[in-house]
Amino acid sequence: MRVIAGTAKGRTLKAVPGKNTRPTTDKVKEAIFSMIGPFFDGGLVLDLFAGTGGLGIESLSRGMERAVFVDLDGGSIEVIKSNVQAAGVSEQAEIYRTEAARAIKALAKRGLRFKLVFLDPPYRMKEMDGLMEELAERGLLEEHATIVVEHDAEHAYPETLRAFNQIKRSQYGDTAVTIYRYAETPEPTEPLEA
């Protein structure tokens, strides 16, 4: 695993030991960033089931300003700390060991708003649409924020979901990536002619 592009390009990242964490492959990571980026002009990124931190680190390398990494697993937290250091982005990273729902509540209290959110949970978790709604309800998303959900290819998330529109869904073996754009205010529709 490595950083693919940007300021930390080519830096090697550690994997989390054991079989509980499934890091995003370089191929899938490259595909994700060609769909959503590939480069950014500042903004906050939330890597909510961070694992190795690879997606958040890649975002920082490609121009995001700051990243918040959240994972419940202690081994993952140690690996994220090591990886942000290896990529030279420690100053731009906040790392928390807690569950996703608690993290969302804590981040909302701080009034943070994210431009980019990665939801790459263990594949048995299939309620990312609920988490997306909570991110929106708690005011954690910038207008036109991008949400990337990585999930089991056998599971399909809805095309539209209140303030979220699916802009892309791609499949890579047993992994699927569904990308949403958030719009607080719905896009204006053309008036019907009388």
DSSP conformation class of 141: E
Assessment of whether the complete model's pTM goes beyond 0.85: yes
HEC readout, 30-99: HHHHHHHCCCCCCCEEEECCCCCCHHHHHHHHCCCCEEEEEECCHHHHHHHHHHHHHCCCHHHEEEEECC
Where does 124-182 have alpha helices with state H?
128-137
Token output for 118: 């990665």
Give me the CATH code for the 28-162 domain, please: 3.40.50.150
How does pLDDT run across 136-180, given as a tens digit for each residue? 999 999 999 999 999 999 999 998 888 999 999 999 999 999 999
For 36-95, what is each residue's pLDDT tens digit?
988 999 999 999 999 999 999 999 999 999 999 999 999 999 999 999 999 999 999 999
Residue at 124: amino acid letter? R
Dig out the tokens for 172 from the structure.
């890579």
